[in-house]
Amino acid sequence: MSFVEYGDTIKDGDTAIVFLGHESMFPVKVQHGTVTQTKYGVIRHSMDLIGKKYGSKVTCSKGGWVFILHPTPELWTMNLPHRTQILYSTDISIITMMLELKPGSIVCESGTGSGSLSHALIRTVAPTGHLYTVEFHQQRAEKAREEFREHGLEHLVTVTNQDVCKNGFGVSNIADAVFLDIPSPWEAIGHAKAALKAEGGRICSFSPCIEQVQRTCLAMEEYGFTEINTLEILLRVYNVRTISLQIPDLGKAAEDNSSTGLDNSNPSNQGSPGTNLQQGTVQFKSGVPLREMVGHTGYLTFATKS
């Protein structure tokens, strides 16, 4: 099993996603002889999972059923254990596009955090690219290495435990793109420039506060970066609802009046036959925005090495 290569059959040691319903799923490590408890009953890994195809409908001990899904970076983002605040697919999608990533690209990242963006970057640059990710916190770096190994990604990523603001990324003049998600990104702009290829490399910095963005932009200008641009991505979800509205009586009365020669401006003609017809209703689908939505997550600042 790998997050970048699809496997048809569930095997011992795989990471799978148990799908109970919309917004109700969780990851599970498949192990021979192990059971997993759900609200629909027990899932026995040996009998119910190993050897079955991904996407299979599995019946639990209480008679309920779940689907077993192959892991993807998007599903992992929704279900991973949070060690830090993470980036979600809304920001991840614009990051991979604006950094112009493709298979074979070399990317530097700091910090690794919970690995949400890391999995998406690896999937984008696979099978010939590579991710160099730096994490300041030792335990988070070790956990990230363990997850990449379990997910079949260790040959596509190098995890380094060091302070990127002081020691950089450990590579020079090879990266096609650099991503920064650290408290003081302006202190790492020089190291990012050193890691990028000689010309045309792209950089992105994620910061929740506009003051961080201002200092980062000044540092980018100081180091000669061009095309500096800051974006904020907001996701607005709509609910589809059935709405009933009364049909307005616009044509019948007018038609009757024109045929009989009645003048509605004359008070004596008000209340004539045909003006008090019973009105019906019509139903139609309409999109209604949610009353609450996810607001500000962070600012994305992009620039190009000149």
**pLDDT tens digits along 129-181:** 999 999 999 999 999 999 999 999 999 999 999 999 999 999 999 999 999 99
3-state percent helix, strand, coil for the chain, nearest multiple of 5? 30, 30, 40
Q: Is 222 within any annotated ligand binding site?
A: no
Q: Is 12 within any annotated ligand binding site?
A: no
Q: Is 114 within any annotated ligand binding site?
A: yes
Q: Which domains does the chain have, with CATH numbers?
A: 9-71 (3.10.330.20), 75-234+295-305 (3.40.50.150)
Range from 8-12, 22-26, 98-102, 294-298 carrying the lowest mean pLDDT: 294-298
pLDDT of residue 293: 77
% pLDDT > 70, the chain: 91
Note the pLDDT tens digit of each residue in 139-150: 999 999 999 999
Beta-bridged to residue 26, according to DSSP, are: 18
The pTM (predicted TM-score) of the whole model is: 0.84
| b/e sequence 106-142, b meaning 16+ C-beta within 10 Å | bbbbbbbbbbbbbbbbbbbbbeebbbbbbbbeeebbe
Q: Is 48 within any annotated ligand binding site?
A: no
Q: Is 181 within any annotated ligand binding site?
A: yes
Residue 83: both structure tokens together: 């060690």
